[in-house]
Amino acid sequence: MSNWDGLNRRRFPRANYPCLVVISRERKDSNERDIILTHTENIGVGGVCVILKQNIERFDSVDLEVDLLDLEDHIKCKGKVVWNIQRKSSEKKKPLFYDIGIEFSDLSPKDKKRLEDIVNRLAKENK
């Protein structure tokens, strides 16, 4: 079984839906915060997969701000890194990127409904 086989057994369906994401987390070596701007690989009601140039360790807590590009307020919630995989690089000069899976931990009912509606709409369009 490959690494991805276990990861694709998700409790919540995901959709390939491009969103802007701001990740904020405390640095372990100081009281300062890292702010990382990225985008989604995919998103669902339970969490999000983002692509980063740097690794975030499993079980690290993060603050998230997700712009669903639907003209409503950004989703702001906490999350926990549940998996991370370093991509393989075929070129030595390019940075190795990481796919980071973050589980939402305090998503509001309103934001959960927004995500459900988007994922369901995309699932119907892709049939």
Question: Rounded to 5 degrees, what are φ and ψ at 110?
Answer: -65, -45
pLDDT per residue over 65-79, tens digit each? 999 988 889 999 999
Q: Which of 16-20, 47-51, 57-61 bottoms out in mean pLDDT, i.e. has the lowest?
A: 16-20
Q: What is the CATH number of the domain that holds 58?
A: 2.40.10.220
pLDDT surpassing 80 at residue 2: no
Instruction: Provide the domain count of the chain.
Output: 1
Under 8 Å between Cβ of 12 and 45: yes
- What does the DSSP assignment read for 34-68? EEEEEEEEEEESSEEEEEESS---TT-EEEEEEE-
Check: CB of residue 6 under 8 Å from CB of residue 35: no
Residue 89 lies in domain: 3-125
